[in-house]
Structure 1
Amino acid sequence: MSSGKIAQVVGPVVDVAFAAGDKLPEINNALIVYKNGDKSQKIVLEVALELGDGLVRTIAMESTDGLTRGLEVFDTGRPISVPVGKETLGRVFNVLGDTIDLDEPFAEDAPREPIHKKAPAFDELSTSSEILETGIKVIDLLAPYLKGGKVGLFGGAGVGKTVLIQELIHNIAQEHGGISVFTGVGERTREGNDLYWEMKESGVIEKTAMVFGQMNEPPGARMRVALTGLTIAEYFRDVEGQDVLLFIDNIFRFTQAGSEVSALLGRMPSAVGYQPTLATEMGQLQERITSTKKVLLHLSKPSTYQPMTTLTQRQQQHSLTWIQQPTLNVS
């Protein structure tokens, strides 16, 4: 395990210097640093750029308060890895795969998978078309959803995107017995708490895994939590061979977090201030959200907040290129 030292801390971005001749960590590798040498105060950094002369630029998954120049940083040799499998059902995780529901301790021997993976090959993708009965009359009658399709909920603040997602999770679990993975990206802590207790009271929590990178989290966590939820869903699809629904609420916060760290990484902003890598980041996420021939259903429902209730923003346009069935929520 190679090690370096912190050279600079700028908000959520940390530069780490490695000695000349040492092997540099690969892009997307997870690095670990301990505040004041205290093993209980571990902070995970993800390598984003190689700057040359043994210097790498990383994004912190937690607050960098307390980090100082000269602290030793260790390379784990692999990307962030999170728990997967049936053990994740009924539990709530953060971006690093740590449980945050204050329930019984999570199984240490549970399988883990890296959050960075390649998308399924083109010849593995499903080509079948079948209607998904959601149990919501207005959707089933006027704009039915396809199994394995990508559905986007577009709307301004407070028009019911999250409520619609909650209803869909409840109906799918009760009527179809399907597994759902809910990923909260940069949303309100209150909404996540309400959703958890509602699902627990209705009994559908045992069919659902939940992952949260909430509004108060650093941008690094909000940017990567969507990949954490996707990795859990992919395991059910590829290894368990089970139909699974992936809900992402809110995809706008995903791009917003990327925009926050983009300037600190030294990238020139593009149109309207968005990061120049917006299309690439969106593509890397969306290409992995797909149905394969093994599994009939892998439905992504990215909820998308509309700034100024307009569909002309670059983020909205990039989302629409990946979504087959947009649903517009209006007040």
Structure 2
Amino acid sequence: MHALRASIEALEPRRFRGRVTAVNGLMIEAMGPADALELGARATAQTRHGDISCEVVGFRGDHALMMPFGPLDGVHAGARMEIDPEGPYVRPSSAWLGRVIDAFGKPVDNGGPLLPGLHPYPLRGRPPAPHARARVGARMDTGVRAINTFTQICKGQRMGVFAGSGVGKSVLMSMLAQNADCDVAVIGLIGERGREVKEFIDDVLGPEGMKRTVVVVATSDEPALSRRQAAQLTLTVSEYFRDQGKHVLCLMDSVTRFAMAQREIGLAAGEPPTTRGYTPSVFNELPRLLERAGPGRRTDGRTEGAITGIFTVLVDGDDHNEPIADATRGILDGHIVMERAIAERGRFPAINILKSISRTMPGCCNDDEIELIRNARRALSDYADMEELIRLGAYARGSNAGVDRAIELHDPLEAFLGQNKEEATSLDDGFQRLAEILGDNNSLSNEA
């Protein structure tokens, strides 16, 4: 039986062939067998300069529209196309831990070849059915005080980090990668600057952090298809480890660059632009990607692992209601908002607690913690309401007891929310420090 199986696996799969009929901008038009040239199919254009991988992204009449994964140099009318019969799959394995891979699952870290797994995983995987999915698990210790106390994240939850450029979201992601309590971390660097990739791997993760991590990289100079596929591969690798029963932390920086890549693909395929130039397919692909994170299936009383997803959203012009931010916020289970004004004051991470929310709270907190969070938020809100008058010296102390207390607590709370990137604070220590700041009025402080 083993010999028969080996013989079958050794057989050359049936090959489908077509030919290039035209090249228009970034798009290749080709003809071939209709049953092989389906949407999402992969093909290779054979040229004098080498083979060019392509993906079918649309149709014009009976011609397939293909977008290349690389430069179009050497493509000519009549060039032969070889269509991949298997489709876009990868075979992840535990040997991928500690490695840096590209959008195709190929190593880019000079660490030698990757050992493939036994089972193929589709790049465009489907999430578990809603009725078969487990509930989100216990809360996760992120090591970041502001998140651990005010916007707690549970295992299997999906959170967004919304920030403009230069506000510190990448540093926050590095803190989560270093300190979060998880079995495996899968990090997708989508459209990042090439210079920062090496720095992130060497300086942030280091050899110890890489032991539990797979990094998927597609830099900003790579084609749109590669940037989109790197995001899909990040979720595919996460799904593999989830199926092994692991708690996976999936960090993606950023969803906005995934959306920009899909916009570029859609416009090249002839889609009409909508709000700010984004095509309809962008808003179709976003939930397909983000819904893949979350709890695993629950069968026979046993739960698979979970994917806790943290996705950064680069808000255009610091407008937190721009199309991608607005669409993503409606899909995710909470959002952490970072603001430029806070960063300019020198407080990092620059999280605006009043604008951030976790939809799993207060279900993951006990009564004392809920009261503690409520009191701290009230103090922050009272100060924000009167901040302009306070800074001008126009507020008279004694006119409002709540504002007086907010002024008293403002500096200690700001110091609590600030945190060096090398520092980590546990869940319990974070609540204990918050209780000490708020004083004896809180029951948690009294218990301590």
Aligned to 2:326: 317
- Please say if 1:72 is aligned against 2:80: yes
Aligned to 1:260: 264
Alpha-carbon distance, 1:202 to partner: 4.7
Q: Which has the higher mean CA deviation after the structures are superposed, 101-110 or 212-221?
A: 101-110
Q: Distance in 2 between matches of 1:203 and 1:269?
A: 45
The number of residue pairs the alignment matches comes to: 321
Aligned to 2:278: 274
- Please say if 1:221 is aligned against 2:226: yes
What is the TM-score when the length of structure 2 is the normalising length? Answer: 0.68
- Please say if 1:181 is aligned against 2:190: no
More relative contact order in 1 or in 2 (CA 8 Å, sep 6+)?
A: 1
Q: Which has the higher helix share?
A: 2
Q: In structure 1, list runs of 5 or more residues that go unmatched.
A: none
Aligned to 2:290: 286
Aligned to 2:170: 162
Matches within 5 A, 1:49-88: 49-53=58-62, 55-88=63-96
Aligned to 1:147: 155
- Percent same amino acid among aligned pairs? 23
Alpha-carbon distance, 1:16 to partner: 1.3
Aligned to 1:27: 39
Tell me if the contact between 2:19 and 2:80 (Cα under 8 Å) persists in the aligned partners: yes
State the structure with more CA Rg: 2
Aligned to 2:110: 102
Distance 1:265 1:325, change over 3 A: same
Which deviations, in whole Å up to 9, do the C-alpha atoms of 1:202-224 show, x marking residues without a partner? 51101101111110001111122
Tell me if the contact between 2:178 and 2:209 (Cα under 8 Å) persists in the aligned partners: yes
Tell me if the contact between 2:136 and 2:157 (Cα under 8 Å) persists in the aligned partners: no
Aligned to 1:16: 30
Tell me if the contact between 1:26 and 1:47 (Cα under 8 Å) persists in the aligned partners: yes
Distance 1:318 1:200, change over 3 A: closer
- Please say if 1:5 is aligned against 2:19: yes
The 3-state SS of whatever aligns with 1:102 is coil
Aligned to 1:241: 245
Tell me if the contact between 2:36 and 2:85 (Cα under 8 Å) persists in the aligned partners: no
Q: Distance in 2 between matches of 1:24 and 1:234?
A: 27
Alpha-carbon distance, 1:109 to partner: 6.5
Tell me if the contact between 1:199 and 1:205 (Cα under 8 Å) persists in the aligned partners: no
Aligned to 2:217: 212
Q: Which has the higher strand share?
A: 1
Q: Distance in 1 between matches of 2:27 and 2:118?
A: 31
Q: Distance in 1 between matches of 2:252 and 2:25?
A: 26
Distance 1:58 1:105, change over 3 A: same
